[in-house]
Structure formats: C-alpha cells, structure tokens
Structure 1
Amino acid sequence: MMKRTLLALSACIALPASAAWTLDSDTSSLHFLSTKNAQITEVHSFDELSGTLSDGGQLSVTVPLTSVNTSIELRDTRMQEMLFDTTNFANATFTADVPAELMKLKKGSSTTGSVTGELDLHGVKAPATFQVIVSKLANDKLTVSTTAPTVINASSFKLEGGIQALQDVAKLSSITLAVPVTFSVTFEE
C-alpha cells in the first residue's frame, strides 16, 4: 500500500502543473461599433464575457449574446431577437492557439503580436485575427488588449437578414455590415 502511494505521489510530482487562466469578467470589456444612415456611428458592448487560457496557449472566450448593451433596451431586445437569434444561437465563441511568444512573459513585461483563431457566431465559423498587446502585471495576472480594431463582416456570419430586419423596423436608410471590434481582457491564474 505504501509503495502504491509513493508511486502515485511521484507521478504527480513528475507531471508539470497545468494551471488555467480564467477571464475576469469584472475587469474585461468587449466593444463594437455600428454605423447607421451612413454617418451615425455608435459604440456598443457586451456586459458578460467568460473564458479560459491554458498554460499551453489554448484560448476560449465565450460571449453571451443576450448581454448586448446598446444603451437602449428596445434596441438590445431587437438585436437579441432579430439579429443574433439568441433562442437558437445563445453565444459567440472565439477559440485560438495563442503564440508562445505571447505566453512566455515575465512579470512587469509586455509584448505585441497577433492572435488568429476561429470565431463561431450565428452557427457559422470563420477565421478572425486580433492585433494585441499582452502585459503580465503579476505572476498570476495578465491583460490582453487590442491595439487596433478588428473588422468583423456580418455577411461572413449570415447576419445580413438580421441587419436588414433591424434597418426596416427602425426605418433607417442603411446599417453597415462591417463592424469594428475591440476588447480589453484580464486573465488571472
């Protein structure tokens, strides 16, 4: 019995620790812009985010689409129902393998780079790349922020019908399909 216990203990010690980083939703934000009638641009956000980042760089971020915040409750409801169809597609998810050079930071250092992964939105998966700055604030805390907006095209995710429905119900002459996205997220170990 003692021999088995020692073997199990030595196996645990020999295996590297695989700590997971968890997205801190209280200090993280995701914003997007919409432009209507060719000249009126507004800033919107999602109030909820969750995610994990493994020590090996596997990233997964989930955005509950019912948390869309446009500062107008009726518009939020219309976007949930007419654009995102949250009954059938509750979340948007971004997954990626973060490059090693962005993962191996020492406390107090920062670096820039790009993270390319797959965005799953409205039942469609498409590639997306974000230019970011990563800062390791402490041994157990890092931040990742975009250095430039990433333009997500609504037509890549079959959202044109939803945008047209929003345009019709609000009696707008246009809503652009190109949507700039920025974020600033904090991960804690």
Structure 2
Amino acid sequence: MNLIKTTLAAFLLLSLSTLNGAFAAPKYIVDSNNSVVNFSTIKKQYVVDPAVFEGITGSISNSGQAEININLSSIDTNIPIRDQRLKALFFKVAKFPQATIKATIDMKKIKSIRYYKRMEIPAILEFYGVSKEIKLEVLIAKVYKKKLLITSMKPIIINAKDYGVPAKNLVALSKTVGGLSLSEEVAVNFVLSFADKQ
C-alpha cells in the first residue's frame, strides 16, 4: 500500500511539474533589439521633444497572457543630460524602474492571421506604482513563420496626473529648460517584435 501511495504521489508531482512547465513556457518572446516604445514631451505647446525606450522585454504565453516590461532607464532623447533629468526628476527610476503592460490576447485570432489583422486589446498599464486600464489599438502581422510584429495603430494618451506622478516632478523638470511649461500628457506609440520560441 505504501508503495502504491508513493508511486501515486510521485506521479502527481511529475504531472504538476510538467503542467507548470507547459503553462510557464512562453509562446512568443520580445525581440529587444527590434522593439521600441516612443513618446514626445511638449514644451510651451509647440516644441516637441521625441524620446524612445529600447529596454523592452516580455512574452506572450500559449494561453495569450502577455506582459511587456519597459525599462525606464533606457530612455533615449539623443541628449544625455536630458535623459538623466527625465530619469531622476520625472520618472524617479531609482524607485520606479519600469512600466509594465499586461493583457490577454485571443490566440485563436493570432492563429487565424494570414498576413496581418487589426485588433483592439484591453490592457493594464502599471506605471509609477499605479495600475490603470488602457485600450491598445494595434496591427498584428505575421513575419515569416516564427515572427510576430505588433504595432500601435493609434497613440496611447498617458496623463502623468492619472498615475499619481506629483506635479512637482514636472515643475522640477520644467526648471531645467528655462521654466517652459511642459504638458502632463504624452502620446505613446510602440513597435514590438516577437520571436516564436516553440
């Protein structure tokens, strides 16, 4: 009897381990070298300063659970001192090193794509310690058999105030550019390249 119990316990552990491994194994992995998130800050309502984040990681599971992580320290405005000011004064990267987007994607729709498909995906953006619902309007394209490309069709409008970013952060940043007023809202776009790992 003890032998039977031991055998059953071992079988259950092995089965659970296998199932956990299957669920944990990602279907698609972000190709960080070919993925970017960009936005523009607006000074005095007419001066636009573009910026990009290139430290993008993440995955999409077999069940469609997607998580995209944006390393806020990877910001690049082509002006190093501006990068440092954004990281230290606005994003406070020492405390909030990344932003995360989580969503569930209908994998049946992904499988049905022959070339490309436009989709609307509800998602959660975690930024500055706050989580809020956003809507992603994207174009998903299959590139060869092992690549997936997801690009924004419309920008995501992010208001710093909605995520609890203190107004003083923007004021401190404004002082570094001669006191020019800076918009609390930015338009965010992205290009995400995924490699099929299975």
2:151 counterpart of 1:145 = yes
Tell me the CA shift for residue 19 of structure 1. Answer: 4.7
State the distance in 2 between where 1:58 and 1:165 align.
38
Corresponding letter in the other structure for 1:24: D
Alpha-carbon deviations, 1:61-100, whole Å to 9, x = none? 0011110111111110111111111111111111111134
Trace 1:22-171 onto structure 2 (pairs within 5 A).
22-100=29-107, 102-106=109-113, 108-159=114-165, 160-171=167-178
- Listed as ranges, the gaps of 5+ residues in structure 2 are 1-6
State the distance in 2 between where 1:105 and 1:59 align.
18
Corresponding letter in the other structure for 2:29: T
Which stretch of the first structure deviates more once superposed, 154-163 or 74-83?
154-163
- Listed as ranges, the gaps of 5+ residues in structure 1 are none
Q: Is the 8 A contact 2:157 2:185 kept in 1?
A: yes
With normalisation by structure 1, the TM-score equals 0.86
State the distance in 2 between where 1:164 and 1:105 align.
49
Paired residues, number: 179
State the distance in 2 between where 1:157 and 1:165 align.
18
State the distance in 2 between where 1:25 and 1:148 align.
22
With normalisation by structure 2, the TM-score equals 0.82
Q: Is the 8 A contact 1:37 1:172 kept in 2?
A: no
Identity %: 23
Q: Is the 8 A contact 1:34 1:42 kept in 2?
A: yes
Q: Is the 8 A contact 1:152 1:179 kept in 2?
A: yes
Cα RMSD (Å): 2.2
Tell me the CA shift for residue 178 of structure 1. Answer: 1.1
**3-state DSSP class of the match of 2:33?**
coil
Q: Is the 8 A contact 2:35 2:54 kept in 1?
A: no
